[in-house]
Amino acid sequence: MKKIFIAIVAVGFITAGFAQDKGSVLIKNGTVLTVTKGTLTDTDVLIKDGKIAQVGKGIAAPQGVRVIDATGLFVMPGIIDAHSHIALDQINEGTNAITPEVYTGDALNPFQLSIYRALAGGCTVSHALHGSANSIGGQSQTIKHRWGTYDANSLKMEGAPRTIKFALGENPTGHGRRDGTQPQSRMGVEFVIRKAFNEAKEYSAKWDAYNKAKLVKGFRGAPPAYSLRLETLADILSGKIILHCHSYRADEIQMLLKVCKDFGVTRVVFQHTNEGFKVAPEIAAAGAMASVFADWWQYKLEVYYSTAYNATILTRNGVVTSINSDSPDLIRHLYHEAGKTQKYGGLTDDEALALITINPAKQLGVENRIGSIENGKDGDIAIFKNHPLSIYGVPQYTLVDGIVRFDREKDAGDQRIMVDPKQTVDATMYETGHAYDFCMSGTEWLFEEVENNKK
């Protein structure tokens, strides 16, 4: 007990103030799990100015570069979570079935403790997704866990492709039922998405015509009405945005694949995908990908027929698969979640690690930047005591862009950056486990009415 208390009392090592900085570090003598190039024992990894500069044996430390002795430790690429809602002040703009114009990058909160706690689980990058309250939710942002920054925008992973959240099934239909609007069924979900895509096509056509006409000398005319909503949808159709779709049931997965095919949308990642195992051949054939829970089931009807073997079945059928969290707790132990695929289907170490590194990197379109330990990639690294797929794996250091953002030994317990001057000192928040769908948070007000009616 003392240790925990002392850690709080100790003067905190506050990592603030170098958000955009890139660091240089030499990690000596570890077992390096590159994920893409095998496992290298007694190997050094040199990170220079935020990038992996060299992987090999006996690398000499450049002057002034911090050396981390990783003897007996395991060095892996920073863990990537393709589905999370941490670091967000708002998750759902759930008032309208179609809200592609909204963007989670507008609601980033760099002070949420979840960011640090994710780092303490080796997780360096997450996909700050819009929620699943509506069929076409918001654009989402891939973030780096640059704990210590005061600038919300500096969490954004520069250069990461644009993404957007779609949602099928119970969540959007439940919203429709409460509001008395479409969709209230899976039929309606397909319809509102097709309708939105068709409107976007018309919108693009109008603008194309206008822009073309403008080129003719002496043209006079009114421009079509501007709409950020339709503009964004048009960007999906033209392939500028990766589509991430909350989905559970096999039929709705196939439905979206067909819609995307009809509209020429090729970059599709299914989220949750609990029944993805049933349509794995179809997902693979379409070149779509899947981001799944390791073992969640039972919390609602559409996950009732799940199996913990989902990730294995998808992988064996050739689908690029990742394990995600959708939870501020799971994001802290994705290494353990990935390990479960060894129990449920016997994936190899590299296959299991790929589920939380290079595969989610592919799903976010950043596989050239992160997801493995290779020269030229970002210096995002997690260093474990014991193998990360072992239950005894404990993250010791987590680096983002070559900067140590988590240090198990040195960090103070109290990691708050901004302290609420009005909070009572022993304010407590008790939450039992994770028995609800974080995808729906921010929409409680929609349920209040229902609750009140019950009473």
Partner 1 sequence: MRLRPFIPILLFMLIPLGLLAQDEQELSPVTRTYAITNVNIIQAPGRKIDMGTVIIKDGLIKAVGKGIAIPAEAIVIKADSMYVYAGFIDGMTRAGVTRPKEENRQRPKDPGNPPPDQAGITPYADVRFSINPGDKGLDDLRSVGFTAAQIVPYGNLMPGQAAVILAGGKSADQMVIQGRSSMYSELTGANNVYPATLLGVMATWRDLYRNAVQAKSYDALYASNRSGLERPVSDRNLEAFYPVIDQKMAVIFRSERLLDVNHVLTLKKDLGFSAAIADVKDAWPIIPAIKSAGVKTYLSIDLPEEVKKDDKKKEAAASTPAQQEKEALEKRKMEAIQNYAAQAAAFQKAGVTFGFSTMSAKTKDIPANLRRMIAAGLSEDAALAALTTNPAQLLGLSDRMGTVDNGKMANLVITDKSYFNEKAKVRYVFVDGVMYKMEVKEAKKGDPNAKVELEGSWSTVTESPQGRAEGKLTFKKEGSGYSGKVSGGRLPSPVDLTEVTLDGNALTFKYTMSFGANTVTITGEVTVEGDSFKGTLSFGQNRTTPIEGTKDPKN
Partner 2 sequence: MKTTMKNTKSIYGIFVALICLGVMFAEAQSPKAKNGTFALTNATIETVTRGTIANGTVIISNGKITAVGTNIQVPAGAEVINCNGQKIYPGMIDTGSKIGLLEIGQIPQATDERESGDIIPQMRALTAINPNATAIPVTRIAGVTTTLTLPEGGLLPGTAALVNLHGYTPDQMYAGFEGVVLNFPNTGRRGFGDRRTEDELKKASEKALATLNDAWDKAIQYHKLDSATGGKGVGYYPEMQAMVPVIRGERALLIEVNMQKDIQAALKWVKDKKVKKVVFMGVSEGWREAENIAKANIPVLAGPVIAIPNRDYDRYDAQYANPGIMRKAGVKVAIRSNEDGNGNYRNLPYHAGFAVAYGMTKEDALKAITIVPAEILGVSDKMGSIEVGKSANLFVCDGDIFETKTQVSHVFIEGWKMPMQSRQTLLYEEFLKREPGLNKN
Q: Look at residue 226 and give the partner it binds from partner 1, partner 2, none, a contact being a CB closer than 5 to 8 Å depending on partner kind.
A: partner 1
Environment class of 425 (CB within 10 Å of its CB; exposed 0-12, middle 13-18, buried 19+): exposed
- Backbone torsions φ then ψ of 286, nearest 5 degrees: -80, -5
End-to-end CA distance of the chain: 43
* Interface stretch with partner 1, choices 219-227, 277-285, 297-305, 386-394 (CB under 8 A): 219-227
Q: Is 8 in the site for partner 2 (CB under 8 A)?
A: yes
Helix (H) or strand (E) holding 116: helix 113-119
Name which of 370 and 440 has its Cβ closer to partner 2: 440
Name which of 18 and 436 has its Cβ closer to partner 2: 436
Q: Is 188 in the site for partner 1 (CB under 8 A)?
A: no
Q: Is 191 in the site for partner 2 (CB under 8 A)?
A: no
Q: Is 180 in the site for partner 1 (CB under 8 A)?
A: yes
Q: Is 181 in the site for partner 1 (CB under 8 A)?
A: yes
The two tokens of residue 302 are: 């559409």
Q: Is 267 in the site for partner 2 (CB under 8 A)?
A: no
Name which of 46 and 189 has its Cβ closer to partner 2: 189
CB of 220 to partner 1, least distance (A): 6
Site string for partner 1, 259-298 (x = CB under 8 A): ----------------------------------------
CA distance 137 to 232: 11
Binding residue for partner 2, selected from 254, 308, 350, 374, defined by CB under 8 A:
308
Binding residues for partner 1, how many (CB under 8 A)? Answer: 56
Name which of 5 and 436 has its Cβ closer to partner 1: 5
Q: Is 413 in the site for partner 2 (CB under 8 A)?
A: yes
Binding residues for partner 2, how many (CB under 8 A)? Answer: 69
CB 406 within 8 A of CB 51: no
Chain position carrying tokens 């909350």: 246
Question: Cβ atoms within 10 A of the Cβ of 336, count?
Answer: 18
Q: How many residues does the chain have?
A: 455
CB of 130 to partner 1, least distance (A): 7
Based on its alpha-carbon atoms, the radius of gyration of the chain, rounded to whole angstroms, reads 23
Q: Is 10 in the site for partner 2 (CB under 8 A)?
A: no
> Distance of CA 266 to CAs 46, 186, 339, Å?
37, 22, 30
Q: Is 421 in the site for partner 1 (CB under 8 A)?
A: yes
Q: Look at residue 130 and give the partner it binds from partner 2, partner 1, none, a contact being a CB closer than 5 to 8 Å depending on partner kind.
A: partner 1
Q: Is 222 in the site for partner 1 (CB under 8 A)?
A: yes
CB of 1 to partner 2, least distance (A): 5
Q: Is 450 in the site for partner 1 (CB under 8 A)?
A: no
Degrees, nearest 5: CA angle 239-36-44: 125
Sign of the CA dihedral with 68 first, then 69, 73, and 77 last: positive
Q: Is 39 in the site for partner 2 (CB under 8 A)?
A: no
Name which of 333 and 377 has its Cβ closer to partner 2: 333
CA distance 303 to 289: 19
CA distance 133 to 85: 13
Name which of 110 and 345 has its Cβ closer to partner 1: 110
Q: Give the three-class secondary structure for 331.
A: helix
> Distance of CA 284 to CAs 3, 169, 249, 276, 325, Å?
49, 21, 16, 10, 22
Helix (H) or strand (E) holding 350: helix 349-354
Q: Is 392 in the site for partner 2 (CB under 8 A)?
A: yes
Degrees, nearest 5: CA angle 432-90-382: 65
Degrees, nearest 5: CA angle 419-146-33: 135
Q: Is 340 in the site for partner 2 (CB under 8 A)?
A: yes
CA distance 89 to 108: 6
Beta bridge partners of 27: 45, 68
Q: Is 277 in the site for partner 2 (CB under 8 A)?
A: yes
Name residue 316's amino acid: R
User: Which residues in this chain contact partner 1 in the complex, by CB under 8 A?
Assistant: 1-2, 5-6, 8-9, 16, 89-90, 92-99, 101-104, 106-107, 109, 111, 130, 138, 150-153, 179-181, 220-223, 225-229, 414, 416, 418-423, 425-426, 442, 445-446
User: Which residues in this chain contact partner 2 in the complex, by CB under 8 A?
Assistant: 1, 4, 7-8, 113-114, 116-117, 120, 170, 277-278, 280-282, 285, 295-301, 304-309, 312-313, 316, 328-329, 332-333, 336, 339-340, 342-346, 386, 389-394, 413-416, 424, 426-436, 441, 444
